[in-house]
Amino acid sequence: MTYTTLIIIWFALWGLLWAVYFMLDGFDLGVGMLYPFLAKDENERKLLLNSIGPFWDGNEVWLITAGGATFAAFPTTYAVMFSFFYLPFMLILLGLIFRGTAIEFMNKSEGQTWKDLWKWALAAGSFLVAFLFGVAFANIFHGLPIDEQGYHGTLISLLNSYGILGGLLFTGLFILSGSIWIGIKTDNELSERVMNFSSKMWYGVLVLAVIFLVQTYFETSLYDIYIENPIWLIDLAIAVISLLLTKVFINKKDAIKAFITHSLLIVSTTFFGIIGLYPNMLPSSIDSKHSLTVFNSASSEYTLKIMFIVAIIFVPIVIFYQIMMYKIFSGKITEKDAHY
């Protein structure tokens, strides 16, 4: 395996880790955002919380792994990406902290104020994470103002129209993911209600996705690769088909299939951006010679090899026991399961 191949494999793995993170944490962030609005009473709130209770922590580790892999495989990108996005990332971390603490602490004390505070911490935290990841990735796709002196943007400059659009798209995708997940995990009236909501939410996602695809054409150079190598359009095709199938399955009230196709939509949407970026990781919007590419930011060949060996041994093991976990807790949540 040559150094170049190794680098490309790691770029693909890098994209995959982020995609899996968005797919998995997406649904529990979505449930977090819906939490104050969807449940009618205390009992339903407990059901919602229990639907993500066993999973959220394991899902969040995919983010830590994505971050760790960026650090190990592309240290320069890691350093530049997180220091450029200093404030947004600090806000994301804040969101993650409050989201996690809220899930664990909410029902551990009985006071109403206590519960209300954690309820909003959960919703706001989940929203911050979803929205700001969208903003960050849209800005990466768009290109950042980088020249020889470094980065010239601010938090406000990240909140440009395309960035906000990306934020809304992520938020919409995750909310839909969360609502379909609740549809899987609950039954009767709550499940029915949430599937009706998913059906409406789907149109929101459709509109955002269409605007995003069109704007991407005007705001970024992502399509260049697709024009040069139309074979990659297969990813976009998967995204479109997944989106449509999701609606079909929602209408059929088949929440499990809708969840699978919607997850595929999240993964293929992420890869739409990742493929379009290549060979850049952080393109400069000022001058492409200041862009960070996979080649000028990668670790040494030796480190990439070591990390590759670690990944092919351990990632399948992780996937194995995480799937076991989803199987063990595959049933619907009932009032009996209300541990929290």
Partner 1 sequence: MMDLVTLSRIQFALTVGFHFLFVPLTLGLVILVAIMETLYVKTDNPVYKNMAKFWGKLFIINFALGVVTGITMEFQFGTNWANYSKYVGDIFGAPLAIEATVAFFLESTFLGLWIYGWDKVSKKLHAFSIWMVALGTNLSAVWIIIANGWMQHPVGYVIRNGRAELVDFMAVVLNKYAWLTFFHTVLSGYVLSSFFVLGISAYHLLRKNQLDFFKKSFQIALVFAIFSSIMVAVVGDSNGSNVAEVQPSKFAAMESIWETQEGAPMYLLQIPSWNNDGNIIEAIGIPKLTSFLAFKDPNAKVIGLNDIPKEERPPVALVFYAFRIMVGLGVYFIVMSLLGWYLNRKGKLLDSPLYLKMLLYSIPLPYLAINLGWMVAEVGRQPWIVYGLMKTVDGVSPIPISQVWMTLIGVIIFYSILIIADIYLLVKYAKKGPDFDQPVQINISTSPSIQA
- Binding residues vs partner 1 (CB under 8 A): 50, 53-55, 57-58, 60-61, 63-65, 67-73, 75-76, 78-83, 85-87, 89-90, 93-94, 96-98, 100-101, 103-105, 108-109, 150, 299-300, 302-303, 306-307, 310-311, 314-315, 318, 321-322, 325, 328-329, 337, 339
Q: Rank residues 124 and 250 by Cβ distance to partner 1 and give the closer one.
A: 124
Structure tokens that stand for 196 in this block: 């009706």
Q: Quote the least distance from Cβ 212 to partner 1, whole Å.
A: 26
Closer CB to partner 1, residue 62 or residue 249?
62
Residue 36: cis peptide before it, omega within 30 degrees of 0:
no
Question: Given the complex with partner 1, which of 231 and 313 has the nearer CB atom?
Answer: 313
Q: Shortest approach of partner 1 to residue 317 CB, angstroms?
A: 9
> What 3-state class would DSSP assign to 293?
strand
- Do residues 103 and 49 make contact, with C-beta atoms less than 8 angstroms apart? yes
Cβ neighbours of residue 259 closer than 8 Å, sequence gap 6 or more: 27, 177, 180, 181, 183, 184
State both tokens at 284. 């400069």
Burial class (CB in 10 A: 0-12, 13-18, 19+), 121: buried
Q: How far is CA 167 from the centre of its chain?
A: 11
CB of 237 to partner 1, least distance (A): 32
| Tokens of residue 211, six digits | 């605007």
Nearer to partner 1, 87 or 211 (CB): 87
Return all residues near 85 (Cβ < 8 A) that are at least 6 apart: 136, 158
- Rounded-to-integer distance, Cα 100 and Cα 53, Å: 10
Least Å from the CB of residue 70 to partner 1: 8
Question: Given the complex with partner 1, which of 203 and 321 has the nearer CB atom?
Answer: 321
CB of 51 to partner 1, least distance (A): 11
- Report in angstroms how near the CB of residue 281 gets to partner 1 at its nearest: 13
Which CB sits closer to partner 1, 90 or 248?
90
If the CB atoms of residues 45 and 247 are measured against partner 1, the closer one turns out to be 45
**Shortest distance, position 156 Cβ to partner 1, whole Å:** 12
The least CB distance from residue 189 to partner 1, in Å, is 21
Count of CB atoms within 10 A of residue 207's CB? 13
Residue with Cβ nearer partner 1 (17 or 33): 17
How many angstroms separate the Cα of 67 from the Cα of each of 21, 62, 63?
Answer: 11, 8, 6
Q: What is the DSSP string of 186-218?
A: --HHHHHHHHHHHHHHHHHHHHHHHHHHHHHHH
- The smaller minimum CB distance to partner 1, of residues 111 and 230, is found at 111
Shortest CB 198 distance to partner 1, Å: 25
DSSP 152: -
Nearest Cα residue to 333 out of 49, 30, 31: 49
